[in-house]
């Protein structure tokens, strides 16, 4: 019976190619727009480290009260150097990563290769274990190197390709801004996006960082931060020495806490530390701290671009408009075939038979709209850089799941659009149609 209804549907659709093509195009455009924006929103809002997100936390301390930069009553998203040093010294967490962005020039020993400007971070050794950083060659520097701030460095695979042609460069020397560093490891491809560990920075969707220096070494070398610095409006400091002694917040700090008991214990420790600072006269407002896990942190920092959310809402509206227009076209199409329906009913076809016939016909339209929607989706995804920044557009890719979703959505939308027209067609009275015919 299905094949019979399918044959009837194909014949019916071929009688008016223009109307059929218009309905297929409406479904395809609406579906492609929604699928493209959904893929974009999913890419920029995805959990960058799902295996560990429930164990990674950002401590925040209100060190400036009403003078804070944020206008939502929350502490700064980063910490001062003195707070980072105090929290690290306590070792209340199983892992602690202090991070700040740096920007250095890598000067290769091979004079035939031009110097390379490399973006990266000054980090403590726990950074690599906490955030599951993979290595192609070597590994992270040792704890003595971390504590003493020796001249070691971890580089990215892209930089290793440019400077050492992809060979194992562990143990080799790399001049950076007048200092020579020994390469401890070369990372395998790794760039979780959004870049959660530096969400207060402006690099949430940038390409993979290529330089990682020991945090202690970066401080000793007075390497300035290349990221955000939150200072009071009346801050008068100048230069490195004033910054490290100031109440300016410029260092991202993450801790790893294995379970709920550890989270509660660390929260109590953080509150006690802030209260101690208040009691010692560092500030004169009630101690206020926050401890957010990775998911909460990304939501708080509003990492997902508002344009992505707005585009999705607009695409949803476009699909609704396309669906309403498809309803009108299907209704007009089915009602014009009243005499045919009347004859079928008079010959014994039930309302269910009419319903099934026209649903199959609508399904064919939906399937065709889905395949055309796939082509349009590929084109839309390829053109996202015309609307969004290239660093965001390149995160979106068309894969099998996206293609399957487009077809399913097209069929579902078409069936929804056909529900009322098909119901109206199945209610046609055969006697009245035969009389008027």
Question: pLDDT digit string (tens) for 65-84?
Answer: 776 655 567 888 999 999 99
In whole angstroms, give the CA distance from residue 277 to residue 70.
21
CA-to-CA distance for 355 and 77, rounded, in angstroms?
59
Around Cβ 102, how many Cβ atoms within 10 Å?
23
User: Who has greater pLDDT, 265 or 230?
Assistant: 265
Q: Is the pLDDT of residue 7 over 60?
A: no
Q: What are the φ and ψ backbone dihedral angles of 352, each rounded to 5 degrees? A: -60, -35
pLDDT at 268: 95
**300: buried, middle or exposed (CB in 10 Å: 19+, 13-18, 0-12)?**
middle
Q: State pLDDT tens for residues 40-51.
A: 998 888 888 988
Region 275-285 average pLDDT: 91
- Choose between 346 and 240: higher pLDDT: 240
8 A C-beta contact, residue 25 and residue 410: no
Q: Which residues lie across from 291 on neighbouring strands?
A: 59
Beta bridge partners of 58: 292
Least confident of 6-10, 149-153, 272-276: 6-10
Query: What pTM was computed for the model?
Result: 0.81
- The confidence score (pLDDT) of residue 314 equals 94
pLDDT at 199: 64
pLDDT at 433: 47
pLDDT, residue 253, reads: 96
Q: Which of 179-188, 232-241, 404-413 has the lowest mean pLDDT?
A: 232-241
Are the C-beta atoms of 57 and 266 separated by less than 8 Å?
yes
Around 434, how many Cα atoms within 13 Å sit in the side-chain half-sphere?
9
3-state secondary structure of 96: strand
What's the mean per-residue pLDDT of the chain? 85
Asked if residues 55 and 256 have their Cβ atoms less than 8 Å apart, the reply is yes
pLDDT tens-digit map of 83-103: 999 999 988 888 999 999 999
Query: With bands split at pLDDT 50, 70 and 90, how would you rate the model's confidence at 137?
Result: very high
Pairing relation of β-strands 179-187 and 152-155?
parallel
Whole-angstrom CA distances from 137 to 5, 154, 170, 190, 392 are 62, 10, 7, 13, 29
What tokens were used for 49?
């480290």
Segment 118-144 mean pLDDT: 94
Give the residues across from 57 on adjacent strands. 255, 293
Task: Give me the mean pLDDT over the 260-286 stretch.
Answer: 93
Phi, psi angle pair for 205, to nearest 5°: -130, 25
pLDDT at position 340 = 62
């Amino acid at each position: 019976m299905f094949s019979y209804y399918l044959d009837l549907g194909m014949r019916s659709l071929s009688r008016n190619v223009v109307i059929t093509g218009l309905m297929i195009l409406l479904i395809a455009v609406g579906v492609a727009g929604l699928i493209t924006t959904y893929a974009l929103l999913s890419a920029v809002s995805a959990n960058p480290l799902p295996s560990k997100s429930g164990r990674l936390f950002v401590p925040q301390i209100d060190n400036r009260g009403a003078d804070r930069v944020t206008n939502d009553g929350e502490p700064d998203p980063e910490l001062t150097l003195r707070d980072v040093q105090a929290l690290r010294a306590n070792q209340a967490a199983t892992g602690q990563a202090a991070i700040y962005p740096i920007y250095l020039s890598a000067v290769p020993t091979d004079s035939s290769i031009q110097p390379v400007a490399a973006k990266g971070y000054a980090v403590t050794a726990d950074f690599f274990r906490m955030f599951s950083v993979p290595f192609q060659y070597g590994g992270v520097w040792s704890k003595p190197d971390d504590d003493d701030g020796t001249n070691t460095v971890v580089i990215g695979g892209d930089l290793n390709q440019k400077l050492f042609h992809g060979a194992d460069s562990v143990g080799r020397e790399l001049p950076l801004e007048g200092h020579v560093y020994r390469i401890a490891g070369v990372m395998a491809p790794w760039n979780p996006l959004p870049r959660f560990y530096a969400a207060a920075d402006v690099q949430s969707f940038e390409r993979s960082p290529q330089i990682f220096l020991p945090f202690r070494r970066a401080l000793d070398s007075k390497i300035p931060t290349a990221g955000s610095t939150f200072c009071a409006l009346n801050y008068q400091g100048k230069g490195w020495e004033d910054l490290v002694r100031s109440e300016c917040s410029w260092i991202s700090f993450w801790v790893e806490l294995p379970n709920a008991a550890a989270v509660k214990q660390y929260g109590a420790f953080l509150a006690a530390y802030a209260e101690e600072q208040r009691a010692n006269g560092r500030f004169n407002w009630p101690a206020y701290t926050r401890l957010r896990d990775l998911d909460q942190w990304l939501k708080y920092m509003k990492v997902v671009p508002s344009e992505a959310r707005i585009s999705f809402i607009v695409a949803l509206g476009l699909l609704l408009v396309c669906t309403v227009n498809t309803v009108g076209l299907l209704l007009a199409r089915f009602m014009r075939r009243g005499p045919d329906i009347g004859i079928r009913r008079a010959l014994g076809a039930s309302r269910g038979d009419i319903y099934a016939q026209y649903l199959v016909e609508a399904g064919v339209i939906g399937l065709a709209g889905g395949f055309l929607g796939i082509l349009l989706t590929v084109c839309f995804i390829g053109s996202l850089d015309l609307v969004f920044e290239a660093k965001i557009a390149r995160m979106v890719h068309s894969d099998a799941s996206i293609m399957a979703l487009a077809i399913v959505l097209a069929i579902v939308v078409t069936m929804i659009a056909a529900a009322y027209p098909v119901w109206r067609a199945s209610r046609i009275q055969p006697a009245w149609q035969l009389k008027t015919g």
